[in-house]
Amino acid sequence: MTGLASLVAALWAMLPAYLPNNAAVLFGGGPPIDGGREWNGRRLLGDGKTWRGTAAGVLVGTLAALGLNRIASRVEGPTSWSLPRFSVRAGVALAAGAMLGDIGASFLKRRSGRARGAMVPGLDQLDFVAGALALARLVAPDWFRRTFTRPTVGLVLIVTPLLHVGTNAIAYVLGLKDEPW
């Protein structure tokens, strides 16, 4: 595969990890995961991490993986590009890993005294990618090895923050998100 083709393949493989955050923004709300509990006088996670948003994120990301498999078999035909297919296991791992990474970042933000919605450049853009890659590598190692190489993981880590900033800015302009990050 050419450099561009492998970048496209790697970004395609990350799509089930990109959608959960947006699904959580759209469908989130209701009881927070931490149930309002505090640790050392600060919320464990905060009101921005809800059961409903998390469940919606995992569901949407997993369904996206299955939908992408169908799309891939249609678009691939005559070209020499090969798009990765998702096992259910890989799809769930990417989606749940993305949500876990985001939740982990909220935990760290609360520990450092930041309020819900505070921006932490770098962390906000990479928490979900790191979570998704780590969980996929852990629970779907064969899929992970077939799908990524060290260079493509590196590209994903560079390109994702740019995509993330772009989509969040759009969500903010559309009034879907309270902050543009």
Residues in the site for K ion, rule: CB under 5 A? 102
Encoded one letter per residue, x for contact with ligand CTP by CB under 6 A and - for no contact, window 54-83 reads x-----------------------------
Q: Vertex 73, ends 69 and 74: CA angle to 5°?
A: 120
Contact between 135 and 93 (Cβ < 8 Å): yes
Measured CA to CA, the distance from residue 157 to residue 130 in angstroms comes to: 8
Q: List the end-to-end C-alpha distance of the chain, in Å, as a whole number.
A: 34
* Residue among 75, 91, 72 at smallest CA distance from 17: 91
Positions in 103-162 near ligand CTP (CB under 6 A):
103, 106, 109, 116-118
Give the C-alpha distances (Å, rounded to integers) separating 78 from 5, 13, 68, 72, 75. Answer: 14, 20, 18, 12, 8
Residue 97 interacts with ligand CTP (CB under 6 A)? no
Residue 49 interacts with ligand CTP (CB under 6 A)? yes
116 vs 137, which CB is nearer to K ion? 116
48 vs 131, which CB is nearer to ligand CTP? 48
9 vs 60, which CB is nearer to ligand CTP? 60
Minimum distance of K ion from residue 150's CB (angstroms): 26
- Which among K ion, ligand CTP, none contacts residue 50 (Cβ within 5 to 8 A by kind)? ligand CTP
Contact between 12 and 68 (Cβ < 8 Å): yes
The contact set with ligand CTP (CB under 6 A) reads 24-25, 28-29, 46, 48-50, 53-54, 99, 102-103, 106, 109, 116-118
